[in-house]
Amino acid sequence: MQHKTIIITGASSGIGEALATQFAEKGSNIVIAARSADKLESFALTLRNKYGVKVLCVTTDVSKQEDCKNLIDKTVATFGGIDVLINNAGISMRALFEDLDIAVLEQLMQVNFWGAVYCTRYAIEHLLKSKGTVVGVSSIAGYRGLPARTGYSASKFALQGFLEALRPEVMDRGVNVLIACPGFTASNIRKVALTADGTSQGETPRAEDKMMTSEACAAHIYQALVKRKRTIVLTTQGKLTVFLNKWFPAFMDRMVLNVMKKEPDSPFK
């Protein structure tokens, strides 16, 4: 990955930040994208000073098509091409569907699904030239729908369907498509998850210190990308969930409901 150009969306925290650090350690050209310009600039300064790599910051709201086009255009103008696009930006939610403002579900789809579609569409011609890789950071929720996460699960199912359909279109022309599905990973995503009315949850309902770290998750994704794998599923719980859901779906309906019921302040009364 030395001197390769890597775009990472949602790079100001969590898995995205850890991925940028991982690639900086390998001497890649890093393009970090997120909505917070201040966080990006501060992070970029850290990467430049510590690893001596080239870092481009592009303030990007992936829910806006013009922002995604700008991200790709600035990357190509700066580095001459793209080797890896990591669609990592995402938001979550927690609320019963019957209580949910439909605009929240639309927002989840706009960021988690359409953001990846926009970025990939503008990047694909450059990835075909470099025979590069498209990465979608999905979730176990892209395999198994989770109660009180209807919008999140729907967006991840859509993301995986999009990438699975794209893969055979481009594989004979040298482009790899990697779908990465972390299990529960310690990050900021649950703290800023949306509630029924679209406001931020504020506090995570889970024990973050008992989860896989963002750094460990990023290391797995990096290795899978280098080996040009198709799919990775992370954490023992995540792998078990995917396996059991394939063979015992009715059993898993009850299991995931029971798990979600045990969360603090669960919407299930």
Residue ranges of E strands in the chain: 5-9, 29-34, 55-59, 84-87, 133-137, 176-181, 231-233
Query: Which distant-in-sequence residues (6+ apart) come within 8 Å of 108 by Cβ?
Result: 91, 92, 93, 151, 152, 154, 155, 194
Q: How far apart are CA 114 and CA 165, in angstroms?
A: 15
Which residues carry out catalysis?
A: 152
Query: Which distant-in-sequence residues (6+ apart) come within 8 Å of 186 by Cβ?
Result: 208, 209, 211, 212, 213, 214
Q: Return the closest-CA partner of residue 33 out of 19, 22, 51, 46.
A: 19
Structure tokens at 117: 């579609």
Instruction: Give the residue carrying structure tokens 């023992």.
Output: 236
Residue at 202: amino acid letter: G
Q: How far apart are CA 154 and CA 148, in angstroms?
A: 11
